[in-house]
A and B are shown apart, each in its own frame.
Chain A
């Protein structure tokens, strides 16, 4: 039985990757696990795990080319283009801007003269690396969007699919920050999502946004508050508790701010591996235990 768990959270920099990598190391001790880094604009799980990016596969999308001998300058292609990737010159000759093209094929289907030729363009890559820890090993799949590219969803989807193919027991997906469509694509099919937040006004604001998305998608949400103890005014803690109640999400972990996490992070060894008896490691341990019980 394959189960998908998502680590998300709305705000950037709350510690999604820290939580995802530590849980991966712990759960991999008992289950066959794939960790999918779907934060394709800034993937860093491989850095936190000191793993390389191996087994590269390109992610390609359709790129239209125009057969100008067939084109009658009707302008239908530019009219249907939603991303502004097709511009018409004054005499209505279409001109393609590859970077803006999402590869949706609308121009290809709408062209009455069949003057659109289907080409391809590489917008990113996926990687598969075997990660070995002292206590076990697991597979890491990473999606990387090429620099300068704007269309993240195809890369998220490709990495998600590659991870699903490899998965035997458990897939953990680490999403990017925010609530954009590519975050929803990453979350799709998850049985459970852990929303990682921090006790700050922005953390609170973005937590509510992601809980709304999870509610819409019908995914059970747990909350992990990272950097517990910094700026934790009573007001914010009360609000987090209120929001958790509103969205039927349980606060499952309060991870104290600790310099030791940062040190482990810099060394590229998750704290549960570097210092298993650390109080933070114990918190991850009990969170992983609860996750395993659910899945």
Chain B
């Protein structure tokens, strides 16, 4: 059952939108899918990178590693973020800022064959 983390503007769950940045997104919405690809669990965490003075992307990724995330969705990923995500075997998917989280999850399901 894959876990997907979405860089999010707020804590509104599936009705929230993809944040304008990955490393400094205010929140991460983490959804767990069941075998059929249905959302089973939603957890919202604060992004420790949001207030970091430096190395924001790494702090954000550390939180995602600790949560056991398999796929991360954000509007863009910098070179440091991409390198570390690849090393940690976390897939990243670019979805434009402002996309509803509900729709972003559907796109990810299609992309990774989770339905």
Q: Say yes or no for A97: interface residue by CB 8 A criterion.
A: yes
CB–CB A78/B62 < 8 A:
yes
Q: Is the CB of B58 within 8 A of A100?
A: yes
Which residues of B have CB within 8 Å of A89? Answer: 65, 88
Question: Of all chain A residues, which has the CB nearest B23?
Answer: A84
A64-84 residues with Cβ-Cβ distance < 8 A to B are 78, 81-84
Q: Nearest-CB distance from B30 to chain A (Å)?
A: 14
Closest A residue to B88 by CB, please name it: A89
Size range of the interface on B?
Answer: 10 to 19
Q: For residue B98, which residues in chain A have a CB less than 8 angstroms away from its CB?
A: none
User: Which residues of chain B are near A85, meaning CB under 8 Å?
Assistant: 55, 58
What per-residue 1/0 map shows which CB atoms of B51-63 lie under 8 Å from chain A?
Answer: 0101111110110
DSSP class of B's interface residues: helix, strand, loop or mixed? helix
Name the residue among B55, B61, B66 with the largest chain A CB count within 10 angstroms.
Answer: B55
B residues contacting A by CB (< 8 A) are 52, 54-59, 61-62, 65-66, 68, 80, 83-84, 87-88
Tell me, yes or no, whether A235 is within 8 Å of chain B by CB: no
Provide the bound-state CA to CA distance between A90 and B83, in Å.
Answer: 17
B66 touches A84 (CB 8 A): no
**How far, in whole Å, are A212 and B57 apart by their CA atoms in the complex?**
32
Chain A 82-99, CB within 8 Å of chain B: the 1/0 string? 111101111000010101
Q: Which residues of B contact A78 (CB under 8 A)?
A: 62
**Additional A-B contacts beyond A90-B66, A99-B80, A100-B80 (20; CB < 8 A):** A78-B62, A81-B55, A82-B55, A83-B54, A84-B52, A84-B54, A84-B57, A84-B58, A84-B62, A85-B55, A85-B58, A87-B58, A88-B65, A89-B65, A90-B68, A95-B87, A95-B88, A97-B80, A97-B83, A100-B55
